[in-house]
Structure 1
Amino acid sequence: MTSKGERRRQAVLTAAVQVLLEQGPTALTHREVATRAGCSLSATTYYFASLSDLVTAAGTQIVARWAEQAERVADRLEAAAPQHTRISAAVEAVLPEPDQVRGHYEHLAGAGRSEAVAAAYAAGRARVDAAVERITGPIGLDAELVVAVIDGAAITALSEGQDPATLARDLLARTLVTVGG
């Protein structure tokens, strides 16, 4: 593929990611993506043979970004970091930027309606869990439990007008005490 072709393909994929994040999988159509990407409808089908291919690629890119964020946080954490630092790092690794938290969780709540998105997220989740395990494993917290606590805290905080990161840190600290860490 030429560099122009690769740029066009990336523009189509970027538009698909935006639609998926903003409106969910049911709103992702070749026509909507073409409009956002500023290209012809035929360009979207040239680079992605089916809508399922496009949705899968968009979902794969979203979960890759999430995993990269978690890995960056884990990479900069020192081996001897104290518990409170590890808890804060886990929250930073899992939650998006504060202005994106609501959209992130609204998107995740609907993502399972699309088999392609759900499969992409399930496949990429191992990277997120591995990074979170590097962060919280040394203090005795399982990565899947950590992500579940942070996700639950975010939903609770959003529904009650609280700060998701603060509530997630507080609940993780309580979880650590409960599991005997």
Structure 2
Amino acid sequence: MIIATTPKGERRRQALVAAAADLLLEGGFEAVRHRSVATRADLPLASTTYYFESLEDLIARAVEFAGNAEVDGMRRRVGEVSHRRRGAEATVDLVLDLLIGPEGTDDGARGRLIARYERSVASARHPELRGVQLRLRQQLDELLADVLRRSDRVVRQEQLRRLVAVVDGAVVAALGEMNPEPRRAARGALLEVIDIVAPPTSQQPDRPRSLD
């Protein structure tokens, strides 16, 4: 790949990545083509092959761009969470705010949710996306663990993936329904297991409570 070594070149490269990320959100992977990306970025068609080795390389950068934007938004939300003991319902609502978005979010939020799961599934077929998805998953796990600790919950690394899997399964199933309510479906499923996968610290008498 020819690396953008000038400020102008870097701006063009970032504009192409942002354009591809927008197209991913709006129409999925099929919407990302050299011509559509160049048109969206208002740049010459040749720029997509000048700054990127291939369409797959451009898509991988767009996935990373979109994923990082989501993680940054999650990190801001976590930073606003106070550290106090929470019951099952309050804890579940915080987790869902992080993984799905606040209750009553608009169609744009639903589109971002669909795009996130599309990226996850696509990484199984496209090796160039796996590294990106693994890095994003690690950051998500860290933020999720932080939310649980701020709710005075025990964090066990082996249980974080179980928690996420419960939410993912409920959301994917709900998105395929005629009137999808992914948050409602995930909330019901997570309430059944939250005290098992992330019990209150008071249930761990031999483990000292964190003072932070």
Identify whether the pair has TM-score above 0.5, normalized to the shorter chain: yes
TM-score (norm 2): 0.72
For these two proteins, the number of residue pairs brought into alignment is: 181
Structure 2 Cα separation of the partners of residues 152 and 12 of structure 1: 33
The answer to whether the 8 Å contact 1:24/1:111 transfers is no
User: Offset at 1:154?
Assistant: 1.2
Higher RCO, 1 or 2 (CA under 8 Å, sep at least 6)? 1
Structure 2 Cα separation of the partners of residues 109 and 53 of structure 1: 16
Gaps of 5+ in 2: 200-212
- Percent identity, aligned pairs only, is 30
Write out aligned runs for 1:14-163 (5 A). Answer: 14-83=18-87, 84-96=89-101, 97-99=105-107, 100-101=109-110, 103-104=114-115, 107-108=118-119, 110-112=121-123, 113-137=125-149, 138-140=152-154, 142-160=159-177, 161-163=179-181
Q: Which has the larger radius of gyration?
A: 2
Q: 1:44 to 1:35 in 2, by over 3 A?
A: same
Structure 2 Cα separation of the partners of residues 71 and 61 of structure 1: 15
* 3-state SS of 1:165 partner: helix
The answer to whether the 8 Å contact 1:67/1:125 transfers is no
Q: 1:26 to 1:162 in 2, by over 3 A?
A: closer
Structure 2 Cα separation of the partners of residues 5 and 12 of structure 1: 11
- Tell me the amino acid that sits aligned with residue 29 of structure 2: P
Structure 1 Cα separation of the partners of residues 64 and 26 of structure 2: 16
